[in-house]
Structure 1
Amino acid sequence: MTLQNKLSQGDFVVLAEINTPKGVDISDLVTNVRHLKSRIDAVVIPGMDNGVMHMSALAGGAIIRQQGMEPMIHIYGRDRNRMALQGDMLAAHILGVNNLLVVQGEAISHGDHQNAKPVDDLNELELLIMLNTLQRGTDLAGFELKGKPEFFTGCQVQPIRNDDHLEIEFQSAGEKVEAGAQYIMVPPVFDIDGYVQILNKFKSLNVPVIATVYMLKNVGMARYISINDPASKLSEATITRIRKSKDRETECINIAGEMIKELQSQVQGVKISASGWEDRLPAILDCAGL
């Protein structure tokens, strides 16, 4: 059963985020994916995440499909104009990469090619309109396509800073749903009690909500997130729990697994992000009982 069918039926889905390599050696990617086979519903492939050059997400999606698993790739307008984006999406359909997540690409200044020129021809809302246009059988110039692609498309919510920002993101998500977004991906959740209002807000848009579970690696990372991203709602109790543990790595795995368990009654799916520690994903799934 496809990811789209499972979400349509109300099933709880599990996604895992894995980056493509910075190079052509795909051995780690393939190994990590094989260890997740039959345990997750799809592999999410970011597109040059954080503005760092990697093998394209489209190639990564094709590799995931070759491994007998369902891919989901990021699509954004930072690096390509509307012609290139449409061509890539037609290619994605042919390659069996039909799950798309429309995101806001990180600024080039945060990446490793700071002299690169951003394109930003289409914003997130315009990308959703583009995808709907392609699925109706025409391109953005109004010319008829020879064969219509099919996609399962979602949108992403930015980290919520405060109540006013929540309202802005909610209105934006509503516009994206009207433009064709079929599911919503929300930012990393570190504290269910502090995040339930946000989750309920987006669930009111009546499309599946998928929460991100981000694996903390150590006390330093947890402290950095809590200070620099107050929207994360990462509590002092979580930081203390990691600091006092005799095996901090295992504790971080346990925290991620426990978060997944708690989220099963709150949202319709989770995306697990291990940020370079993808070999720990099976342990997180074990802890979550998945």
Structure 2
Amino acid sequence: MSFQKRLAANEFVVLAEMHTPKGVNISRLVNDARRMKGKIDGVVIPDMDNGIMRMSSIAGGVLMQQQGIESILHVYCRDRNRMALQGDILAAHVLGIQNLIVAHSEDIENGDHPEAVVVNDLNEVELLKGIAQLQRGKDMEGFELDGVPTFTTGCTIEPFADEAQMVQQLKLAKDKVAAGASFVITPAVFDITHFSGFYSKVRELGVPVIPTVFLIKSLAIAQYIATTEPSSQISNELINRIRKSPNRDQEGVKIAGETIAALREMTQGVLVQTLGWEHKLPEILDAAGM
């Protein structure tokens, strides 16, 4: 069953995020995908996430399709103008990719090409409206298309540090849904109780909600996130649990699995981020009882 049909049927979906290489060696990407085939419902391919230059996400999406795994591409406003965005989106459809996520793009200054020119010709709501218009058979200037694409398009909600920021993000997400987003990806969940309060509000958008589950690979990473991203809600209890574990790598896998199992009871899916540890995905799903 396709990703779109599983969402429509209100079935729980498991997505894994995999990055394209910084180069042309695709062996690791393909091997990781093969290990996950049959265990996940789709692979999310970021497009130069965190401002790091990598192989095009379209290429990564095609590679996933070739392995028999449905792909979902990130689309950003940062690097392309409206003509290039529309051209890439049409190309993705022709190459068999029918799932998109209009995602927030990080500041280029934090990437590996800080002197690159930022475009931002469109914002996320405008891009969602543009994708919807392509599916109505016209480009963003109103010219008719020769052949009409179809997509399942989602959006993201950015991390928020307080109630005011949460309200702002929910309002923006509402605008994104009105513009054409048919599912929502939330920030990483580290505290189920805290997320439950947020989920009661985000579900009012009326579209499937897919929270992110982030694999904590080390104590240092947990401490860094807790210190630099207070919105993450990483508790001292969680940090102490990792600190006391005789196998901290495995403890991170267990925590991710437990989080997925808890979210399965309330949401319509999860997006698992492992940031280079894609080989751990089967263990995480085993820990989640899936």
TM-score band, normalised by shorter chain: over 0.9
Q: Which residue is equivalent to 1:239?
A: 239
Aligned pair count? 290
Cα distance in structure 2, aligned partners of 1:200 and 1:256? 22
Residue by residue over 1:219-272, the C-alpha shift from the partner in whole angstroms, topping out at 9 and shown as x without a partner, is 110001011111110111111011100011011100000000000012100000
Q: Which residue is equivalent to 2:123?
A: 123
1:259-274 alignment, distance < 5 Å:
259-274=259-274
Report the residue type matching 1:73 in the other structure: L
| 1:65 maps onto 2:65 in alignment | yes
Cα distance in structure 1, aligned partners of 2:71 and 2:236? 35
Q: Which residue is equivalent to 2:214?
A: 214
Cα distance in structure 2, aligned partners of 1:230 and 1:267? 23
**Structure 1 gap segments, 5+ residues each:** none
SS in 2 for 1:253: helix
Report the residue type matching 1:106 in the other structure: E
What TM-score, normalized to structure 2?
Answer: 0.99
Q: Which residue is equivalent to 2:54?
A: 54
Q: Which residue is equivalent to 2:141?
A: 141
Pairwise CA RMSD: 0.6
Q: Which residue is equivalent to 2:153?
A: 153
Identity of aligned residues (%): 50
Cα distance in structure 1, aligned partners of 2:60 and 2:236? 37
Q: Which residue is equivalent to 2:3?
A: 3
SS in 2 for 1:101: strand
Report the residue type matching 2:74 in the other structure: H
Does the Cα contact within 8 Å between 1:195 and 1:233 map onto a contact in 2?
Answer: no
Once the two structures are TM-superposed, the CA of residue 56 in structure 1 deviates from its matched residue by 0.7
Cα distance in structure 2, aligned partners of 1:238 and 1:73? 32
Cα distance in structure 1, aligned partners of 2:120 and 2:85? 11
1:13-28 alignment, distance < 5 Å:
13-28=13-28
SS in 1 for 2:205: coil
Cα distance in structure 2, aligned partners of 1:129 and 1:278? 33
Does the Cα contact within 8 Å between 1:98 and 1:151 map onto a contact in 2?
Answer: yes
Cα distance in structure 2, aligned partners of 1:178 and 1:184? 12
Name segments (4+ residues, structure 1) moved above 4 Å. Answer: none
Cα distance in structure 2, aligned partners of 1:33 and 1:122? 32
1:279-290 alignment, distance < 5 Å:
279-290=279-290
Cα distance in structure 1, aligned partners of 2:51 and 2:75? 13
Does the Cα contact within 8 Å between 1:159 and 1:232 map onto a contact in 2?
Answer: yes
Cα distance in structure 2, aligned partners of 1:199 and 1:218? 27
Report the residue type matching 2:198 in the other structure: I
Once the two structures are TM-superposed, the CA of residue 199 in structure 1 deviates from its matched residue by 1.3
Q: Which residue is equivalent to 2:276?
A: 276
Once the two structures are TM-superposed, the CA of residue 96 in structure 1 deviates from its matched residue by 1.0
Cα distance in structure 1, aligned partners of 2:48 and 2:276? 14
Report the residue type matching 1:260 in the other structure: I
Cα distance in structure 2, aligned partners of 1:130 and 1:113? 28
